[in-house]
Chains A and B, each alone.
Chain A
């Protein structure tokens, strides 16, 4: 029997949702201050309006839903899934007011793309956008990469059981430190240390490549935020091609890989346990899938003679492979070049790389390496078991931070999520085909949206059907939250209607 949620359940959800919305509003103060310093007065009011709307909505929810009851599992999941939708809509307000987007739907698309660290864009005339708006585009990637709830946990929510339930609901089932708030703060610490180092490195390269110091630092910070959070937004319309720089591309490759690694792995590296990189099932699987998909991409490109030399193969083939595999979506070629030049094999292997994604408890999307590793390890062990004598006792283990005995429910859970992702990729692909796009193109774009990658072959543009925009928004949302909290939200509404 499904129980109908009572008023106290709803109040607890509303209360925490209100806090998260206030947290989101407070983050708008950063571009607001920026706009004030650089005398961008229209954007200043845009952010002020967005900030006030968030505060009003958040405070209204807190005022009406004040309760001492903590969140249960369902409540935690519902708060997470609904707060991501709220973030996408509220984060879109400064976009809409800036006048660089054609419709509010386009603003929500870009906002969800930012928060979900996807990187697909519908912005118009990006090269003339205000710096504060550009900063906001990248900042929402930084916030979304760590997690909207992680932001609230770090600063606004006390470390209760409800906090842990929200943390899990945001597709982070691994705690780095025993306390969930400490874990959230550690994630911020890692990100901010890398932000300082990465921005400095990119700024120095930018300056060396001919940019002014001011621009080099601004671009460095923006590109770092989008690369480390495997987002894919860039300050200029040409994306990374704007810089025409090998050094810039090499540094972004390093940042993208760092961003796609498990935060727990970062923690062990901070503890100087370097051996973990070699022994961890995720890093091993990641290395193997990169090699395999790059081999296929390189064969596809070489067969068609797309790039004349090894440097071209590295800067275009390998770069996009890493960009896709880590879920970043940085491009150094134009969207239509994928379709016109790359050929089916290279495009297919890039689609596979995008679908696989990076590590769990990182900023990437996609199926993720731990699940791929577990599924293949289980398959290998099953084959091995058949080959061994029947009487033999067989313990299945894998190494992920520590040695873990493989259990049936782990494999089941990994396979289920694996299948859910495949279904989500296929669904978006079929809807794309329904709107008349070729099969490979629509599958590529759908995978890019659902795995939160952001590489585009040209389907994502202002003129595409509104329904397809909505489909991609939902794919980005579901893909980022890894299904469970979205399924729970649907179940919650069903319980509300049919429960007793």
Chain B
């Protein structure tokens, strides 16, 4: 009895091992096949785009950055310039994406942080060989905001002190002129 039980357990263990091996053999190749579909594409930086421009030319890339300056509309498309903190890259996007945009970055605004999926060109044939991305999709990652600049309190104080020094000098200059005339 004991022997038969032992052999049963053994065969069960053997079957389990076999199942795991089979699972591995089936699932791993399948997972490799699924990889391109499941893989969450990571964004490339502007420096990477510039440094690896030849390699990435014509490929679909994911790029994100802050919208800076101004949206420049040209017919049915617009130019957006996105700065990722290293460089700004020009994005050629359809006007249908413009409703996502609220703020463009400048002195008074922090621009919207946008993620763009599109085709990268080292020397775009459509746009006079500019290095750019033709957007296929755009996502808003973070909405921008208006920036309020607080006055640094030290600056008015410094200006007052300097004004005092300047006035003293001016009086000195006037006095020296009067003395010379006498």
Q: Which residues of A contact B (CB under 8 A)?
A: 40-42, 45-46, 48-49, 52-53, 55-56, 59-60, 62-63, 66, 97, 127-131, 209-212, 215, 236-238, 241-244, 246, 306-309, 311-316, 332-334, 336-337, 340-341
Contacts and interface: CB of A to CB of B under 8 A. Distances in A.
Interface in B60-113: 68-74, 78-79, 81, 83, 87-88, 90, 105-107, 110
Contact of A212 (B70, B83, B123, B173): B70
B166 A211 contact: no
B83 A127 contact: yes
Given A56-B162, A128-B105, A237 B83 contact: yes
Contact of B128 (A63, A211, A311): A311
Given A49-B155, A63-B173, A336-B50, A40 B107 contact: yes
Highest count of chain B CB atoms <10 Å: which of A66, A308, A334: A334
B131 interface: yes
Contacts of A48: 159
Contact of A41 (B110, B122, B149, B166): B149
Given A56-B169, A210-B72, A241-B90, 20 more contacts: A42-B149, A45-B156, A49-B155, A52-B159, A52-B165, A59-B170, A63-B172, A66-B176, A127-B83, A127-B88, A127-B105, A129-B107, A209-B74, A210-B78, A236-B68, A238-B88, A238-B90, A243-B72, A244-B130, A244-B132
Nearest to B150: A42
B53 A337 contact: yes
Contact of B70 (A59, A215, A308): A215
Nearest to B147: A128
B129 A56 contact: no
Contacts, number: 138
24 contacts: A40-B107, A42-B152, A45-B155, A48-B159, A52-B159, A52-B165, A56-B165, A56-B166, A59-B170, A97-B155, A128-B68, A210-B73, A210-B74, A236-B88, A238-B90, A242-B88, A242-B90, A307-B129, A309-B125, A316-B129, A333-B131, A340-B50, A341-B53, A341-B54
A244 B170 CA distance: 51
A52 B168 CA distance: 12
Contacts of B70: 210-212, 215
B130 to A, nearest CB: 6
A237 B65 CA distance: 14
Q: Is the interface of B mostly helix, strand, loop or mixed?
A: mixed
B173 A242 contact: no
Given A63-B169, A238-B88, A340 B78 contact: no
Given A59-B169, A59-B173, A238-B81, A46 B155 contact: yes
Interface residues of B, number: 47
Contacts of B87: 237-238, 334
B163 interface: yes
Interface in B113-149: 122-123, 125, 127-132, 149
B72 A244 contact: yes
B4 interface: no
B158 interface: yes
Contacts of B81: 236, 238, 242
Nearest to A333: B131
A316 B127 CA distance: 11
B159 A237 contact: no
B148 to A, nearest CB: 11
B26 interface: no
Contacts of A45: 151-152, 155-156, 158-159
A212 B73 CA distance: 10
A160 to B, nearest CB: 20
B175 to A, nearest CB: 10
Give 4 closest A-B pairs by Cβ, nearest first.
A312-B129, A210-B72, A45-B155, A52-B162
Nearest to B122: A341
Contacts of B83: 127, 237
B173 to A, nearest CB: 5
A334 B165 CA distance: 46
Given A97-B155, A131-B107, A241 B78 contact: no
Contacts of A211: 70, 72
Contacts of A40: 107, 149
Contact of A334 (B68, B131, B169): B131
Contact of B123 (A238, A243, A306, A314): A306
Given A127-B105, A210-B74, A307-B123, A244 B159 contact: no
A337 B131 CA distance: 10
B123 A127 contact: no
Contacts of A334: 50, 87, 131
Contacts of A312: 123, 125, 128-129
Contacts of B106: 127-128
Nearest to A317: B129
Given A242-B81, A242-B88, A334-B131, A127 B176 contact: no
Contacts of B166: 52, 55-56, 59
A95 to B, nearest CB: 15
A308 B149 CA distance: 46
